[in-house]
Amino acid sequence: MSKPLSKIKHQIKSGKYYVFWGACTLAVMAGQIYVGAGYRGMSQSVQDLTEIIEIQIELEELRDKYQFKNGYSRKMPIIQ
């Protein structure tokens, strides 16, 4: 016995349906990976900037303590 024509069409349509949603899922996953990689790079840049600012503040505090301890009346030049 052969299968009815309507059942064969339904199975072909079902296969296309899963291929479509599989492709959509892969596209969304690729986008998430791209955004995640960008976020990681951005957060590393912000972390580096924060560390530089912290080092600069600590350096200024050390200069102030040194000037006060040694009796300097004027500010020492900032070395960059």
Q: Does 54 score more than 80 pLDDT?
A: yes
What Cα–Cα distance (Å) separates residue 67 from each residue in 28, 55, 73? 59, 18, 8
pLDDT-based confidence at residue 46 (cuts at 50, 70, 90): very high
Q: Does 1 score more than 60 pLDDT?
A: no
Q: Which residue has the higher pLDDT, 40 or 74?
A: 40
Let me know: does 67 contact 76? Beta carbons within 8 Å: yes
Query: Residue 39: its pLDDT value, please?
Result: 95
* Domain chopping of the chain, boundaries: 30-65
User: What are φ and ψ of residue 8, in 5° steps?
Assistant: -65, -45
Let me know: does 38 contact 46? Beta carbons within 8 Å: no
Tokens matching residue 22: 């599989």
Q: Does 63 score more than 90 pLDDT?
A: no
